[in-house]
Each structure stands twice: as structure tokens, then as C-alpha cells.
Amino acid sequence: MTGEFTIRRVLEGSGLVPLDAQVLLAHVLGRDRTWLAAHATDVVPRAEAETFFALAKRRREGEPIAHLTGVREFWGLPLTVSPAVLIPRPETEAVVELALARLPLDRGLAVLDLGTGSGAIALAIARERPRAQVVATDASAGALAVARANARRLGIANVEFVEADWFAGIGATRFDLIAANPPYVEARDPHLNEGDLRFEPRAALTPGGDGLGALRIIAGGARAFLASGGTLVVEHGYDQSDAVRALFSDAGFTDIVAVRDLAGIPRVVAGRAP
């Protein structure tokens, strides 16, 4: 582009859909999207414009917005993300919402978040339930480094991060609630080779096979780590609700419920340990 770099002109010349362009330019300028709308005719310094166009090119080539900005908001928390972790998604907030409904505010609690990734679920619960002691596990040391950094930056201290493969290495603690957003995409799903998913850790997306392998391990092993009456809550794929509810039933859970996300898609299953 030649000529004066106004905010409007820079956005229009990005080659991106408006939302993506606005998020990237707001990131580069250290502003928010509301400010951009109110300053459409302001001049963008050339250095910032060039930085923006370089990011826009990477976005056009498929890189996720969250990787370009390094941040994704989840439950009102600005979480640092990287290619080492799954990008937090709005539908996962349904896990947090259901978990909080099962966790009273007025007493100490023990919570386990399996496969924490960026720490999204663990940190959201820990912030909303400050009397809870949350253990967040992941098999990836890189993911745990991201999660620990998020906890430090957000000042959330009631979370302990543990490198563990699902329940291995958890110890004898009994938890009031276990939450998990495990890999659940079927190995043959073509979406794994499309869009943002191409840039996310494959192990955080699919366990292989029919996509239910990790959910089988979690549903089958959770009761040994739950207090009497404790809750297991998991996220699953858009077409897996019936299968996951069957896993819960086979594992002896009661009061099994299925919850839809904001798009009306069955996304979360919870059950109570007898």
C-alpha cells in the first residue's frame, strides 16, 4: 500500500474478514476494537502498519489469531496461548459453568482438572472458588509451562500444576469434582487438517481411533479419585453425547446430565459418584 495509513484504510487493505483484521490491528496498536471504530481516520504509524500487514499475511495463510496475538480470552481471563496448547474455545465455558453449579462457595473443596493445557478450566474455577484447592494436570511439560505462567500473571495462587498422564501420579487425594476437556476428535475427521486445527497440538485434539479413548479412561477411572457424591464433568464432540453418557452409566455414575453449548450442540456430560 502507498499513501497515508489510516486505520480504515489499513483494515480494508488487510485481505481479512473484518473481525480478524480488527483484532490484529487492536493488538498491534495496544488498543481495543471499540477504540478503532472511534478513530477510523487516525493515521497508523508506518512501522505499526507494516507489523500489522505481516501478521495479516500469516493469518491469510491460516495461522490462528490466538497464536498471532499470543492471547485468547476465556471466562473473562486473558490467557496466554502458544502452539504448545489447545486454543481455549467458548464452548468449553459450559464445563466451567456446570462445575461451578456443583461447587459451593462456602467451604473448602478439592478439584482436579485433567489435561489442563493453557490452564483455562482450572484457572476459571480457581478464580470463582477461591477456597478451592485445584490440581491441574497435563502430560505435556510445554503445556504446563504455559499454564503456570498464566496462573502467575493472573495472580491465581490456589492451583497446583502436576505433570501426569490422566490419573497416573495423582496420589490418593479424593476430589469433590473432576473436570476434563480431553482430546476427542476421531482420527479420520477431515477437520484435523483444516483451519486453526492444523496449528494446534495433535495430541490435544485426538486420541486416535474413534475419538473416545481418553473419555473411556477418564470415565472408567474417575470414581477411584472422587469423594462420595463428587462430580465428573467432561467436554466431548458434537456427536458423542449418547456414547459418553453410556460410558458414565457403565462406570456407575448417577444423576447423569447432558448440557448443550450456546450453539445448542450437546457438548458436556456430568455425573455423580454414588
- Tens-place pLDDT, residues 114-169: 999 999 999 999 999 999 999 999 999 999 999 999 999 999 999 999 999 999 98
pLDDT at 261: 87
With a cut of 70, say whether residue 1 has pLDDT above it. no
Asked whether 13 and 57 are in contact (CB, 8 A), the reply is: no
Measured CA to CA, the distance from residue 249 to residue 252 in angstroms comes to 5
- Tens-place pLDDT, residues 40-67: 999 999 999 999 999 999 999 999 999 9
The half-sphere exposure of 96 on its side-chain side, counting CA atoms within 13 A, is 22
pLDDT > 70: percent of the chain: 99
Query: What domains are there in the chain, each with its CATH number?
Result: 7-61 (no CATH), 83-272 (3.40.50.150)
pLDDT at 169: 80
With a cut of 90, say whether residue 173 has pLDDT above it. no
- Tens-place pLDDT, residues 205-229: 999 999 999 999 999 999 999 999 9
Confidence bin at 2 (pLDDT 50/70/90): low
pLDDT > 90: percent of the chain: 91
- Tens-place pLDDT, residues 244-259: 999 999 999 999 999 9
Asked whether 41 and 6 are in contact (CB, 8 A), the reply is: yes
Beta bridge partners of 79: 72
With a cut of 90, say whether residue 263 has pLDDT above it. no
With a cut of 80, say whether residue 3 has pLDDT above it. no
pLDDT at 106: 87
* Its pTM surpasses 0.75: yes
Q: At what angle are helices 120-128 and 93-101 packed, to 10 degrees?
A: 30
Stretch 164-192: mean pLDDT: 92
- 37 exposed, middle or buried (CB, 10 Å; 0-12, 13-18, 19+)? exposed
Stretch 193-203: mean pLDDT: 91
